[in-house]
Amino acid sequence: MKKLLLSASVILLATGAFAQSTTATTSRFGIKAGVNLAKINASGNNDAVYNDNAKSNVGFNVTAFGDFGVANNFFIQPGISLQNKGVKFEGSTSTTIGAVTTTTNSSIKTNVMAIEVPVNAVFNIPTGNAGAVQISAGPYIGFNISGKNKGTTTITTLNNNTNASTTATTSNDSDLSFGSSTDKNQSSIDFGANFGLAYRASSGILVGANYGLGLSDLTPKDSRANANKFTNRIIGFSVGYSF
């Protein structure tokens, strides 16, 4: 972890030094945080069934970044980010035998915490003295550091003659492991592209939205024997401040 944070800091400093040597534009630093709506997208065999049942996993994001001017209204924005990713599935089945109806509700949620290093190109569209609209795009590399599967099953049995019912709930939680071998749950590295739209007021307050398009297969390398590919998809909303 220390090596990862050090590497990200070097990227920030190196980019800043380059930008300041090529432009007189003032550099800015900032922080933003918000909510993620994350899914894992499937492509390949039975991808339609998987994608139709996948639901958004609600998480969070926190990002520290720097804006370094390279031209008029054009910035390079490297950063370091903590991203909560994953996916959620929910289902319900009901059967009736005689006077007894049994309903089973189940859900499983995958939570993954990742450290990302994005490097975005940002174009400013000034809105007078009030601020500027910011359009951004660029690559990111992510490192999965922790994760958990949380499963819950609730079974309700109803006697239709007496209206008496019983309910039992069981949980099945497990930690995720990351790497390239077949005994791992996900790959440890993720890369892709970010696309963002934000508004920065002259006071420094930021409000924005971001779409993260994962391009690398989350399946561990040694387990990629079929045509299925799983990639991250994230819609993020954030507020922040830059100075």
pLDDT of residue 35: 98
Each domain of the chain, given as residue ranges in start order, spans 2-242
pLDDT of residue 18: 37
Closest by CA position to 30, among listed 142, 191, 190, 198? 198
pLDDT digits (tens, 9 = 90+) for 80-100: 999 999 999 999 999 999 999
Q: Using the predicted structure, report yes or no on whether residue 6 has a pLDDT greater than 90.
A: no
Q: 151: pLDDT confidence band, cut at 50, 70 and 90? A: very high
pLDDT of residue 234: 98
Q: Using the predicted structure, report yes or no on whether residue 65 has a pLDDT greater than 90.
A: yes
Q: Using the predicted structure, report yes or no on whether residue 57 has a pLDDT greater than 60.
A: yes
Q: 25: pLDDT confidence band, cut at 50, 70 and 90? A: low
Q: Distance between CA atoms of 84 and 39, rounded to whole angstroms?
A: 11
pLDDT of residue 103: 94
Global pTM reads: 0.82
pLDDT of residue 228: 82
Mean pLDDT of 218-241: 92
Q: What percent of the chain has pLDDT over 90?
A: 82
pLDDT of residue 2: 40
**Lowest-pLDDT range, 16-30, 80-94, 103-117, 132-146?**
16-30
